[in-house]
Amino acid sequence: MKKNILLILIGILTVNCSSDESQENSESSTKSSFSFTLDNKTEYTSIHDEKINDYDIFPTTWEKKQVTNTADSKYTISSSVSIKGEADEYYHYTDFNIITSDKTLQVNKIYDIDIEVALVLGLPLAKDPTVCYTTASLFVRDETVGKVKITSFDGETLKGEFTISNLSNSNGYSNIGFCNGAQIKEKFFIITKGTFTAIPKE
């Protein structure tokens, strides 16, 4: 049976901005983008024209590799993102992995998340008086539903849309942790309005 996998990993690094950036990366950034909204209130978007702790911030890219010992291909879409319109002392590295038996990604086809794969998001949260912690690591549950629709692909530029519902801040554990002395309760998050335009990784 054909298996389609979308895996997002977002890691957090401290920021040390620099004005140095190559002309090539600047030109690439105008051709690529990445954004999504968490819980219909916090928007995240791709960032460019920066260096963070000597790591170059790169444009949104895609890369195809063969999955070992299978006929499947893995498409990895990568980007650097941050909260839109806010100063952020961190940046967040994002990877999308789509594994499919299709020879190439099909325009207008929807690829489902394999919910057996853990989905972890180390994301800063918008200021919310009901949530005292400032970041959330999110995981798939049985109720999680996620879809990625390829909207355009000419062999070079790859575009798509995605949504993910019922992501939990609990990885199946009842004791998630404490915040200001109170036990953190399980909460479900949704990602909507996800879009990306990716160029080939060099």
The residue-averaged pLDDT of 41-70 equals 76
Q: How many domains does the chain have?
A: 1
pTM above 0.85, yes or no: no
Q: What is the DSSP string of 102-124?
A: SSSPPTT-EEEP-TTS--EE-EE
pLDDT of residue 126: 64
Model confidence band, residue 6 (pLDDT cutoffs 50, 70, 90) = very low
Mean pLDDT of 5-33: 46
Q: For 26-40, what is the mean pLDDT?
A: 75
What pLDDT is recorded for position 170? 81
Question: What does the pLDDT look like over 116-173, one tens digit per residue?
Answer: 655 566 666 766 655 666 677 778 888 888 889 999 999 999 999 998 888 888 877 7
Measuring CA to CA, which residue among 62, 76, 64, 74 is closest to residue 28?
A: 62
Average model confidence (pLDDT) across the chain: 74
pLDDT at position 18 is 35
Q: Say what the pLDDT of residue 171 is.
A: 76
Euclidean distance between CA atoms 125 and 20, whole angstroms: 29
Q: Scan for tokens 């554990």, then name that residue.
A: 173
- pLDDT exceeds cutoff 90 at 15: no
Percent of the chain with pLDDT over 90: 21
Using CB atoms within 10 Å of the CB of residue 87, give its burial: 0 to 12 exposed, 13 to 18 middle, 19+ buried.
exposed
Segment 165-195, tens digit of pLDDT: 888 888 777 777 777 777 778 888 898 999 9
Choose among 45, 54, 1, 2: nearest CA to 193: 45
C-alpha distance across the termini of the chain, in Å: 32
Q: What is the pLDDT of residue 115?
A: 60
In terms of pLDDT, which residue wins out, 92 or 67?
A: 67
Domain span including residue 109: 5-200
Q: What is the pLDDT of residues 92-120, one digit of tens each?
A: 677 777 889 999 999 999 997 666 655 56
94 burial (CB, 10 Å; 0-12 / 13-18 / 19+) is buried
pLDDT attached to residue 194: 92
* pLDDT at residue 14 greater than cutoff 50: no
Cα–Cα dist 131/41, whole Å: 14
